[in-house]
Amino acid sequence: MSTASLPPVAPEVLAEAVEALTARLRKKLDAAVAECAGKATEGADGTVEVRFGEDTLVTLAPGPSGAVTEAGQAVCSCLLAPRCLHRTAVLGAAPIADAEASAEVEAEASDAAAEGASPAAGQVGALSVEPVPGSTAASGSGSESGPGLGSGSGSGSVEDVVAASLTPAQTRAGAALWQAASEALAAGVTAGGTVVQAELLRAAHTARLAGLPRAEAAALRVVRGLRNAREQGRGQRLSDLTAAFRELLAGAFALASGAAGPGAVGGARRAYEKGGSLRVLGLCREPVLSATGYGGVTTHLLGPGGAFHTVSDVRPGGIGRAKGAGTASVALGGAVLDHAGLARGGLLIAGATVSADGRLGAGRSVRATPVRGAAWSEEPVAALFARPVREAVAAALDAGAEPAGGTGPELLGCDVEVLGAAEDHLVARVLDGGPLVRLRVAHPHPELAHTANLRRIGGHPGLLLRVLGRPDPDRAATLRPLAVAPVPGASPTLRLPEEWLGRADLGYDRLQGDHFPRLGAGAAAPAPVPGGPDPLADAPLWRVRRLLETGVAGGRRAVAEASRGADRAAPAVPLRRAGLTGAAELAEGLAAEADRRPRDSFGRLVDASSDAYARAWLASAVHLEAAERSLVLASWS
């Protein structure tokens, strides 16, 4: 049995265990953690045991939640216990308890019994992150009132109400988070072992006790990212860990300085407010699949005034549940619809409860009656596709960056002409003189229908499509389509079955040959097409990005080594030539701070403070995020 069978461990339990070790044992901790691999076995009464040699046995007895939440639930038989290396190593090898996922599932389960009352006193909102579907988190440029001061990017949790001011305990917790995060950044992945992670976990627990769930979640994401990077886990991207560090440092800086803006505190539970009577119309279904084993479906709905709403059904179960949930019953006010029917129909809801991110609650007072849906060519849905694309993208990206922005950018609708396939995406042109856009798979899992559907669409150059998807905030002019439909009045367009009611959910419905216009006899296979200009890839900002990621991977020393030599200023030259003088100055400042080696009064070299280095890194990271967001928005012109 592998260490994957070890129960999750609460952050504070691991932090306390590491703190109790002597300095000599801490040096051996990372090697002991690696030694735990493959040693876990099932014990009696649901316990998990890890044996070290013949005489030492570590036993974990998780509580009712399935996680080790108290120090007494982890015991070792050696004489040094509980301050022993064996017990701490096993705790370090176990996964960190996923408070976000547990809270999300708990919220989903409680929706059916909730009354939908207003948020309780003290319940506050958090900046959200990308959801579960293997996609990247939506980033927001945030506000900036000094180097490194900003709200950071979104990270996938739920938002509620805004905190008006910070307490002294919250300010102290923010300062502790800043200190721990600064030291972790200076160490980098190479030196970010269990001891460094434990300091972050202790600061995260302090933030939790101070009522800062958003800051706690950001710290836990960094710890998980460090672990995955050190273990070279599948799917781990250095860019994701860099974004996690940026969010954590930006949030901690704002908290420690007392200048935190709306949404900086966060909320551990989704709050539902009374929404009265609502008539919502189905738009499409989206499969939900997370790397932590959760799967399900989100059905997107259009409400009054063009507001987006969702009904979600996400539970543990992975890809199997994500596929099956597309036809599962909708647990909302006694409605007798499944998600497939809701995506093409509608609901009239009495006593509706709505969260800040647009999710509809299922309290006992909610009553829902199925009503006729609307085709994408009918109002009010048709208005989604009539909006100028740049204006719609700007609104979608701004909504994804706000504290109550939900799980990322809002949906975007547009009519396009498919030009063909290019590498791993399709190239299309927005009709009526719009820009070239790239259509990329929304969810790349091979058992979902997204990849196969896009491949079929790419085989029909000249096809006109009405597309509903989510703009990618990290790529130039990129749309990740969730559903498609025929363009009204167009000839070379889709011909969908009547039971599909005029649209196809790309994650569930599989397009077939007879759904497309017939190709002429002897038609040649479509040739690849050029992908068009990419201002984000063409800009020399990649030099700044590489410098920041070098710091995350190798720490402060790696940045210093990379910028030493006669050509130290060479990387800034292309930035200045492109007019990116701010990025050039910040990158030079980061390199200079990383290479700074102060001396004491006797002339001996001493370790430089990680605080100034973290400020320089954060300033460059926040500037880079804002610059890239501007280029992404410009690419939609």
Contacts of 546 (CB under 8 A, 6+ apart): none
Distance CA 89, CA 248 (A): 26
What pLDDT, on the 0 to 100 scale, is given for residue 447? 93
Pairing relationship of beta strands 74-76 and 412-422 according to DSSP bridges: unpaired
Helix axes 168-191, 610-634, angle to 10 degrees: 90
CA distances 219 to 30, 96, 100, 203, 567, Å, are 20, 11, 12, 8, 36
C-alpha Rg value of the chain to the nearest Å = 26
Least confident of 333-337, 385-389, 514-518, 541-545: 333-337
What pLDDT, on the 0 to 100 scale, is given for residue 142? 33
pLDDT in tens, 121-140: 222 222 232 333 333 333 33
Reported confidence tier of residue 269, pLDDT bands at 50, 70, 90: low
Position with higher pLDDT, 587 vs 162:
587
Whether omega for the bond prior to residue 380 falls within 30 degrees of 0, making it cis, is yes
pTM as predicted: 0.79
What pLDDT, on the 0 to 100 scale, is given for residue 280? 94
Q: Taking a C-beta distance cutoff of 8 angstroms, is the pair 249, 614 a contact?
A: yes
For the segment 523-551, the average pLDDT, to the nearest whole number, is 81
Query: Is 101's pLDDT higher than 80?
Result: no
Whether omega for the bond prior to residue 403 falls within 30 degrees of 0, making it cis, is no
Burial class from Cβ neighbours inside 10 Å (0-12, 13-18, 19+) for residue 446 reads exposed
